[in-house]
Amino acid sequence: MGELVRHAWLVARKDLHLEFRSRTAITSALVFTALVLVVFEHGRDPTAVATIDLAPSILWVTFSFAGMLTLNRAFNAELENQALDGLLLAPISRTSLFLGKLVANLAFVAVVQVTGLLLFTLFFNVPVWKVWAPLVSVMILATVGFIAVGTLFSAMVVRTRFAELMLPVLLLPFLLPPLIAAVEVTAKLFAGRPLSEVAGWLRLLAAYDVAFVSLATLLFPATVTE
């Protein structure tokens, strides 16, 4: 167990290190997030629709698109110079490889989401700070399960044709349950309702996370075994 965690951390640290050095993916993801928010602002009629009504959708559509785009990064980097073969030959289990990739992806998405949330607060003038703690918890709950499935799928699609297009096609159905739940909870939070009103949604999110993180961990070896 200790080995597993340590190896996973090594993989995650390698990925984050790589990203920190080049900063290509993170810069693109952040610029993309900002652009989507700007497009949303100009794609609505402010006299007809109040910001607060659209805010949850804007936030979550931005998060899901940004998340999806960044998922391609994880295994794309391993294609060059057959780095993936090197990783697979390393004396670490497939499970720790997956968990490492998952942690790196989550850290990556967390940076994008936090920046996105700040920009959202700035652009849309929604009182996010009043509910920041429950909002961040919902962001974590909704993101973990979805990114787990995404990490699993991205390991496969990098070796297919049209990888960038394939990932959204496969992943969007899986985004639906956490997306619906997150939008519902966020709307309640912005409206100043207590969390107890959305207990059902939170349970659904938690169940989704448990189910898909375990399933993805179990299935991952099947995607990389030669």
Partner 1 sequence: MTLLRRGRWITGIALLLLGGMYVRALVFTPEERLQGLAQKIYYVHVPSAWSAMLAMGMVGLASILFLFLKDARYDRFASASAEVGTAFSLVMLTTGPLWARPIWGTWWTWDARLTLTLMLFFLFIGYQVLRGAVTDPGLRARYAAVVGICGLVLLPFIHLSVYLFRTLHPMPIVLKPGKPSLPGSMLETLLLSFGVFTLLYVGFVMQRYAIGERSHDA
Q: How far apart are CA 83 and CA 68, in angstroms?
A: 23
d(CA 184, CA 124): 19
Tally Cβ neighbours within 10 Å of residue 152. Answer: 26
CA dist., res. 39 & res. 117, Å (int)? 16
Structure tokens belonging to residue 148: 């787990």
Task: Answer yes or no whether residue 117 interacts with partner 1 by CB under 8 A.
Answer: no
**162 in contact with partner 1 (CB under 8 A):** yes
Window 78 to 107, contacts with partner 1 (CB under 8 A): none
Query: Which residues, including other chains, have CB under 8 Å from residue 62's CB and lie 6 or more apart?
Result: 33, 36, 37, 40, 116, 120
Among 43, 89, 91, 161, binds partner 1 (CB under 8 A): 161
- Of 189-218, binders to partner 1 (CB under 8 A) are 200-201, 204, 207-208, 211-212, 215-216
Between 116 and 178, CB nearer to partner 1: 178
> Of the two residues 42 and 161, which places its CB atom closer to partner 1 in the complex?
161
Per DSSP, which regions of the chain are E strands?
Answer: none
Under the criterion CB under 8 A, does residue 24 sit at the interface with partner 1? no
Contacting residues toward partner 1, per CB under 8 A:
149, 152-153, 156-157, 159-162, 166, 169-170, 172-174, 176-177, 180-181, 184, 200-201, 204, 207-208, 211-212, 215-216, 219, 222-223, 225
